[in-house]
Structure 1
Amino acid sequence: MNKAELIDAIAAESKLTKADSKRALDAFLNATGKALKKGESVVLIGFGSFKTATRAARNGRNPQTGKVIKIKAKKVVKFKAGAELTKKVK
C-alpha cells in the first residue's frame, strides 16, 4: 500500500474527504517526525511504538571491490508492533 492508497482507505473508513484524509495523514507524519527528532517516542496503544536509537559506527565492506569502509554512527527509527496489530497480522 502506498500513500495514495492509504489516503483512500482512510477516507473510506472515516467518511472524510480525500483532501481531509491527506491533511490528517500529513499532520500525523509531521508530528511523529518532530517528536522523534526531539528524541521522544510515539506510542499508539494497540498499534505500536516508534522510537529512535543510535546505531554505532562500524566497519563494512564494499561489495564491488571488497574494500573495508567505515560506516558512521547515526540515529535510526525503530518500530515495535503492539499486541492488537500483531493479532490482526496473524
Structure 2
Amino acid sequence: MTQKEVIFVISRKTGLDKEDIKKTIDALTDVVQESVIDNQRVHFSGFGVFFKKKRAQKIGRNISTNTAIVVEEHYIPAFKPSKLFATKIKTAS
C-alpha cells in the first residue's frame, strides 16, 4: 500500500481533507525519524515501537572479488510490533 492509498483510505474513513491528512502523515514520519535518530523510542500503544538498533562489526564478503571485508558497527532503524498487533497478524486468515 502506498502513502497515496493510505491517505485515500483515511480520508474515506474519517471524512477529513486529503491534504490535511498528507501534512499530518508527513509530520508524523518526520517526528518518528528525528526521535529515533536522537536515540528515543517511539511507542504507539497497540501498534508497536520504533527504535534505533546497533549492529555489531562483522566480516562480510565482496562476492565480485571473493575477498573478505570488514563491515563496521552501525545503527539501523527497527520496529517491534506490540503483542496485540502480532496476535492480530497471526490470527488473520
Q: Could you say whether these structures have the same fold, taking a TM-score greater than 0.5 normalized by the shorter chain as the test?
A: yes
1:80 maps to what in 2? 80
> Is residue 2:8 matched to residue 1:8?
yes
How many residues in Structure 1 have an aligned counterpart in Structure 2? 90
1:11 is displaced (CA, Å) by: 1.5
* SS of residue matched to 2:4: helix
Residue-by-residue CA offset, 1:57-84 (whole Å, 9 max, x unaligned): 2110012222111112211111111122
Distance 1:44 1:53 in 2: 18
Q: Unaligned 5+ residue runs, structure 1?
A: none
Gaps of 5+ in 2: none
Runs in 1 of length 4+ with deviation above 3 angstroms?
none
Residue in 2 that maps onto 1:59: 59
Q: CA RMSD in A?
A: 1.3
